[in-house]
Structure 1
Amino acid sequence: MRTGALVDRDGSIAWMGLPRFDSKAHFTSILGTEKHGLWRIGPVGPDGATPAADRRRYLDDTLILESVWTTEAGTVRVLDFMPTTGDAAQLVRIVQGVAGRVAMRSVLRARTGYGRTTPQLVFGGRRVSARLDEGRFWLDADVHLGARGDDLLSEFAVSEGEQVAFTLSWQPDQTTPPPLPAPAALLRQTTDFWTTWASHCTHTGARRDEVIRSLIVLKALTYEPTGAMVAAPSVSLPEEIGGTRNWSYVYCWLRDSAFAAEVLAEFGYRQEVQDWIGWLTTVIGDDFDNLQIMYGVGGERDLAEEELGWLPGHAGSRPVRIGNGAAGQLQLDVFGEVVCALYKAQQHYPDLAPAVAPLITGLVRCVEKLWREPDEGIWEIRGPRRHFVHSKVMAWAALDRAVRFTEAGHMDGPLEHWRVLRDEIHRDVCEKGYDPQRNTFTQYYGSTELDAAVLHALLSGFLPADDKRAIGTIEAVQRDLSIKGGYLLRYRTSDDGPGVDGLTGHEGTFLIGLGWQTVCLRRIGRTDEAEILTDALLHARNDVGLLSEEWDPHAEQQLGNFPQAFSHTAALLVLAAAPTAVEQDSAEVAVP
């Protein structure tokens, strides 16, 4: 809830920035090579290298990662976690002997500025520090820390019952060291925090473990000091291996965070929703006309996109980008998605109405002025603006929720004007965004292409579930955009130069699209298909239950930034739409 670390199967921290999600990374090997920074802890293999762990898991309902190695000499495990106490980021790594006696090695290679600069190490017994781009890190260990060139090296052995801890702490002050850590106490506190937090989940359906894992991911991606939720803790992980569709997601998108807030409200997490509303109120203020579609976790607006030429990219996928040029785009759908989330939050927690009302009013005023404009849409195209059907439907949704909110007496507004405008947008979409010959809504006005985003548009209530146009669209999207295993492309990319998104190359299937499709199928009564696709979505998780942005069903490979809030939101939408255990039992009893 400050920053994120990606842990590879060989015990390497392959990505981590300090002190925030959107800070410059100091372990960057996932976007290059080991020389760009990592921190590996693991047993010393026969060839001197560290092998991949034999098994990994998160401990129960926590974000504490356990990696276990079984060697000829014995068994050892490493626990990796970030404490949930204190005001600054920490990473604790505890090595525990399970059986026998295992030789271990810790190699910490810090490279500041995304792998570009080697910081000077300052030794003080078992405490070492180094200056970063922001502040300073301090490493404390239970064993001797030595230097090997510019690396920190520790070689030691653990026997059954023994434990060795390493704690990396960040401090804003360059001269004042942090208090000496107590790793065992931090482990207990972190365990208690996550298990208590998970116990508040109100889910009564099946697959509780999957629900809790995705909820924990959303909580972990929340920047606690402000309530902002980042889209992912990584940058530039490719949507196509060797391709150029590589973007930074370490920022708070209004859309993504609205989706996350909706499902958190659905599963009983009021405080997180309230914190998000507070963050939203702060970053927007009264200046709705200058609203951005994304911000830094502290509300920063300047997110200039840059390419880091010294990094070869993950699996050779260049360029590596930080910042995000989409911050300056017009994405009309964002207004509707935020209004829908605010409306849903108030439905779950009625006393939030006073905080929600001014936000809904300000956002709807923007929709009144902008809805006729073309935009870059939900997929943040880099090509010409279009009149995207999904964007128009979400403009309708913003008006629809404002009307309902006003009718319920929660705020004052020009009710009749909003009703008329809502109906006008509805007619506009049905006349210009619907293809009667094929009985489907299209990607944008005047096009023949299809887009998985229209499935999300249908979930807004734009049409009844049994409307032939809704059913036709669900079937057309499934027919045209599904590939192996039922996974769904967001739209068709082009083999002949830039497509509608202005980009070359291809991409994997978008997991949030699969989530929308699954819920749509359940709503129109095709529950058997929905169950199959639910299994497909959960199949795309890695060995510890995490989802990336995309999935390549041919290579059985995760693609895009990781772990992705969008995808975990999709999983939660799907699991929330599934029957509860009581409903399932009733249905099974009713079968003749």
Structure 2
Amino acid sequence: MSTVPLEDYALLSDCRSTALVSTAGSVEWLCLPRFDSPAVFGRLLDGGAGHWSIRPDGPCDVERRYRDDTLVLETTFRTRTGTVVLVDALALGRRERGHALGASSPGVLLRQVTCTSGTATVEVGYAPRPEFGLVHPVMSVLRGGVAAVGGSYRLVLSAPPGLRMRASTAYGHFSLREGERISFALQDASPWAGAEPAPWHRARIRHRLDDTVRAWRSWTRLHQSYSGPWEDRVNHSRRVLQALTFTPTGAIVAAPTTSLPESVGGGRNWDYRFTWVRDASFTLQALSTADCQSEQAAYFDFLVQAAATQLERGVDLQIMYGIGGERDLTERVLPHLGGWRDSRPVRTGNDAWRQRQLDVYGELLDAARQTLPHGHWFSPPARKFLLQAAEAAASRWHEPDQGIWEVRGPHQHFLHSKVMCWVALDRAIDLAHVLGATADRVAVWRKVREDIRTAIEARGWNPHVGAYTQSFGSGELDASALTLPLVGYLPGDHPRIRSTVTAIATHLTDGRGQVRRYLRDDFASTEGAFLLCTFWLAHALALTGDVERAREVFQNALRCANDVGLLPEESSSVTGEALGNFPQALSHIGLINAAKAIREAEQRAA
């Protein structure tokens, strides 16, 4: 069982995979060669599932930061006798710059320790446990490092002399004086990985660290179009989204982890290392704000390619895909893992791929409209697919589904799903000229769009609650109703929108000022507040014209970020601690979009 707080971790990325590093200098999550590969280090989910720690061997004070405009982590340890600085990065491709970030990443974790003052003894513990801890590799000494072989893995650790080995673990102590440095590099040298098996010299490690810094900074320079409130936060969130992007396909994972719980000890522990169509619209808004035009195009192309032919076969559009476009994401339990803070089961895969969520049609067509203005013309297959998506929304909007929150229970007539079907037809009408839609077809879309609005106003609005509610005929509030003004269903100053925003702010906001998704829970557990929903509230308040309150809610959401600016999925309503898979793309997306909305509201007011 792991008990390290989630906010204790910092993210590394090579735009193909990620690592999580604790404040104690321990890498406790690393999947190679992809986000969705089995973990090589998995102590995040179980104490015996592997880690790689580098830190002083005695008490110390710790500070850390990302180097300016990068995701290269710098951790400073101050001991009684001296100070050491640990620099960590997942190497980007040699001389990669700008939009090409991650195109040729070698899959190498780089770590460099420098004594900057006095003296210090650094202890190293290297315990790779591939396949989520099932493999305890055989270790042997190489010239310039250590090899670990087990299962399908051959890992090569480039390291200075002095490491000893015992029971599939390498460990050692290194005494450093001011100005002295030691360097490490971990690479997957499995035959199928295509990596060179020889250890790296320390000069090569230093050069690749410097090159990775330059690569991140070159990408940042190309994406600095946003200016306004919380500019540094928006820019950092852009880098986090890029870090969660699988460059070979353009897919963006919801989070780089699996099975971090929505409530401590509960069963809602899902694998988030996939791409959800549900997230597409808000993701593309965020990428637009960040001036990520090529990233927008790549992400939209991925969605179209992954979903190709499903609709013409008469089946529902799948709600999520693997980062390579995979469709079968069958869920399985890893019973040998204890879970973070004893939250079990630990899962890989996600059976939500089997669910029916009618909102995906609106997400897809809204994503298409956002992509088009930036010169990304639709190919004939894409036009055909988008036409089919509009037709599916028109014919299926009145049917029940499992909703945006993926309720694993009976299908219902969820309000958000109906609204997004309205969005699908609204965007299809707007795109009719580039989709090649006939006048007769557009006339039908207009009629159905009005039918959906009529149903929403009659059955989705609850006058006794004074709000749009979770599902038709329901009295339950749901934070997804905050998206109605965000997607343009009604303007922010409409009386029903103002009333809904007030109701959610009053009844779904916890004592810490964070917004819950809803109050009822089909898993009979008490989950934390959902950070995206807090940013939605700030966004919606800006659209209503209440800029002062929007700023207040936004600032409150920012308090959930850790010391290096990473946002969780949820936060505990009692303690404020981070919950859910970490860091969460949707939270950073919500930050970017809410900041832009507040900026625009302030400009209108001025």
Please indicate the TM-score interval, normalised by the length of the shorter structure: over 0.9
Q: 2:471 aligned with 1:444, yes or no?
A: yes
Equivalent residue in structure 1 for 2:253, among 230, 240, 247: 230
> Structure 1 CA distance, aligned partners of 2:305 and 2:147?
35
The normalised TM-score by structure 1 is 0.92
Please give the root-mean-square deviation of Cα atoms over the aligned residues, in Å: 2.1
Q: What's the secondary structure of 2:186's corresponding residue?
A: strand
Percent identity at matched positions? 36
> 1:353 Cα shift?
4.3
> 1:150 Cα shift?
1.4
Q: 2:292 aligned with 1:269, yes or no?
A: yes
Preserved CA contact (<8 Å) 1:125 1:144:
no
Preserved CA contact (<8 Å) 2:157 2:199:
no
Alignment correspondent of 2:550: 530
Alignment correspondent of 2:4: none
Equivalent residue in structure 2 for 1:156, among 163, 174, 193: 174
**Alpha carbons of 1:411 and 1:165: their partners in 2 closer, same or farther (altered >3 Å)?**
farther
Alignment correspondent of 2:45: 31
Preserved CA contact (<8 Å) 1:486 1:536:
yes
Q: 2:286 aligned with 1:286, yes or no?
A: no
Alignment correspondent of 2:518: 491
Q: 2:216 aligned with 1:202, yes or no?
A: no
Q: What's the secondary structure of 1:112's corresponding residue?
A: coil
Alignment correspondent of 2:100: none
> Structure 2 CA distance, aligned partners of 1:262 and 1:351?
15
Equivalent residue in structure 1 for 2:536, among 493, 516, 527: 516
Q: Which amino acid aligns with 2:265?
A: G
After superposing the two structures, state which structure 1 stretch, 356-365 or 262-271, moved more.
356-365
> Structure 2 CA distance, aligned partners of 1:143 and 1:268?
46
Alignment correspondent of 2:413: 387
Q: Which amino acid aligns with 2:541?
A: L
Written as runs of structure 1 = structure 2, the 5 A alignment for 1:177-576 is 177-178=196-197, 180-181=199-200, 182-200=204-222, 201-288=224-311, 289=315, 291-347=317-373, 349-354=374-379, 357-406=383-432, 409=434, 411-413=436-438, 414-493=441-520, 499=521, 502-576=522-596
Equivalent residue in structure 2 for 1:111, among 109, 129, 144: 129
Alignment correspondent of 1:496: none
Q: 2:117 aligned with 1:95, yes or no?
A: no
> 1:583 Cα shift?
4.0
**Alpha carbons of 1:286 and 1:176: their partners in 2 closer, same or farther (altered >3 Å)?**
closer
> Structure 1 CA distance, aligned partners of 2:41 and 2:302?
29
Alignment correspondent of 1:166: 184
Preserved CA contact (<8 Å) 1:76 1:99:
yes
> 1:164 Cα shift?
1.2
> 1:211 Cα shift?
0.8
Q: 2:39 aligned with 1:21, yes or no?
A: no
Preserved CA contact (<8 Å) 1:88 1:171:
no
Q: Which amino acid aligns with 1:32?
A: D
Q: Which amino acid aligns with 1:577?
A: A
> 1:325 Cα shift?
1.1
> Structure 2 CA distance, aligned partners of 1:232 and 1:321?
14
Per-residue deviation, residues 547-574 of structure 1 (Å, max 9, x unmatched): 0100124312111110000100111111
Preserved CA contact (<8 Å) 2:187 2:195:
no
Preserved CA contact (<8 Å) 1:104 1:158:
yes
**Alpha carbons of 1:132 and 1:370: their partners in 2 closer, same or farther (altered >3 Å)?**
farther
Unaligned runs of 5+ in 2: 1-14, 94-103
> Structure 2 CA distance, aligned partners of 1:93 and 1:362?
50
**Alpha carbons of 1:254 and 1:129: their partners in 2 closer, same or farther (altered >3 Å)?**
farther
Alignment correspondent of 1:579: 599
Q: What's the secondary structure of 1:425's corresponding residue?
A: helix
Per-residue deviation, residues 188-229 of structure 1 (Å, max 9, x unmatched): 221111111112221011222101111111000001111111
The normalised TM-score by structure 2 is 0.90
Per-residue deviation, residues 136-192 of structure 1 (Å, max 9, x unmatched): 322112344331221012321222222211111124416973465411221122111
**Alpha carbons of 1:287 and 1:215: their partners in 2 closer, same or farther (altered >3 Å)?**
same
Q: 2:64 aligned with 1:64, yes or no?
A: no
> Structure 2 CA distance, aligned partners of 1:164 and 1:445?
63
Per-residue deviation, residues 354-392 of structure 1 (Å, max 9, x unmatched): 476444223212212321211111100011111000010
> Structure 1 CA distance, aligned partners of 2:258 and 2:415?
29
Q: What's the secondary structure of 2:512's corresponding residue?
A: helix
Q: What's the secondary structure of 1:23's corresponding residue?
A: coil
> 1:307 Cα shift?
1.8
> Structure 1 CA distance, aligned partners of 2:303 and 2:532?
23
Preserved CA contact (<8 Å) 1:97 1:163:
yes
Preserved CA contact (<8 Å) 2:403 2:414:
yes
> Structure 2 CA distance, aligned partners of 1:364 and 1:84?
40
> Structure 2 CA distance, aligned partners of 1:230 and 1:144?
39
After superposing the two structures, state which structure 1 stretch, 552-561 or 390-399, moved more.
552-561
Q: Which amino acid aligns with 2:67?
A: L
> Structure 1 CA distance, aligned partners of 2:429 and 2:280?
23
Per-residue deviation, residues 468-508 of structure 1 (Å, max 9, x unmatched): 11111111111111111321000003xxxxx4xx3121100
**Alpha carbons of 1:296 and 1:134: their partners in 2 closer, same or farther (altered >3 Å)?**
farther
Alignment correspondent of 1:45: 58
Alignment correspondent of 1:8: 22
> 1:409 Cα shift?
4.8
> 1:252 Cα shift?
1.3
Preserved CA contact (<8 Å) 2:138 2:150:
no
Preserved CA contact (<8 Å) 1:19 1:134:
no
> 1:257 Cα shift?
4.2
Preserved CA contact (<8 Å) 2:27 2:52:
yes
Q: Which amino acid aligns with 1:412?
A: A
> 1:114 Cα shift?
1.0
Q: Which amino acid aligns with 1:538?
A: L
Preserved CA contact (<8 Å) 2:92 2:212:
yes
Q: Which amino acid aligns with 2:108?
A: Q
> Structure 1 CA distance, aligned partners of 2:250 and 2:294?
10
> Structure 2 CA distance, aligned partners of 1:64 and 1:444?
45
> Structure 2 CA distance, aligned partners of 1:122 and 1:365?
61
After superposing the two structures, state which structure 1 stretch, 177-186 or 371-380, moved more.
177-186
> Structure 2 CA distance, aligned partners of 1:133 and 1:148?
19
> Structure 2 CA distance, aligned partners of 1:213 and 1:57?
12
Unaligned runs of 5+ in 1: 494-498, 588-592
> 1:536 Cα shift?
0.7
